[in-house]
Amino acid sequence: MADDDDKGRVGILVDRYRHGRSVAEVEREAGLPAGALGNHLKPSARRGRTPSFKVIERFAEALSAPVWEVSQAFFADAGLSLNGGPVLTLEQQRLVDSYALLNPDRQRIADRLIDALVADQADQAAHDGCARASIAQESSVTPDT
């Protein structure tokens, strides 16, 4: 996962859509000048900035990727969310992407599994909280008056 962290969301998106081609090949096939896409993959290009919509469209066209997905990747790298919600971590985004690949029956299974894990975690937290409270009561010192 460290490699994915270094790449950022845009780099991961490029890897997903370039289908074995180098970034230079993608640029050439799309009729773009050398570095037109590659320059945006550098970590220094991701520091709190998003490119113009024209650049996002160029990426989408060159990769044959949906504009919304390219936009989302650029915004996430800049620490921003398109929908106003929290920016997902790379691991959270991987889970969302994997879930989307499942057929409806398997999505229902995944939903039930997640519900069971959340309920189990809540039960465990409640149990741990009760155990801590009873230990605190047993070990508390009260003055004899």
In which band, very low, low, confident or very high, does the pLDDT at 135 lie, cut at 50, 70 and 90? low
In which band, very low, low, confident or very high, does the pLDDT at 42 lie, cut at 50, 70 and 90? confident
Write down the pTM of the prediction.
Answer: 0.59
The angle at the Cα of 101, spanning 96 to 107, to the nearest 5 degrees, equals 75
Query: Is there a contact between 37 and 26 (Cβ–Cβ < 8 Å)?
Result: yes
| Distance of alpha carbon 46 from alpha carbon 23, whole angstroms | 17
Tell me the residue type at 37: L
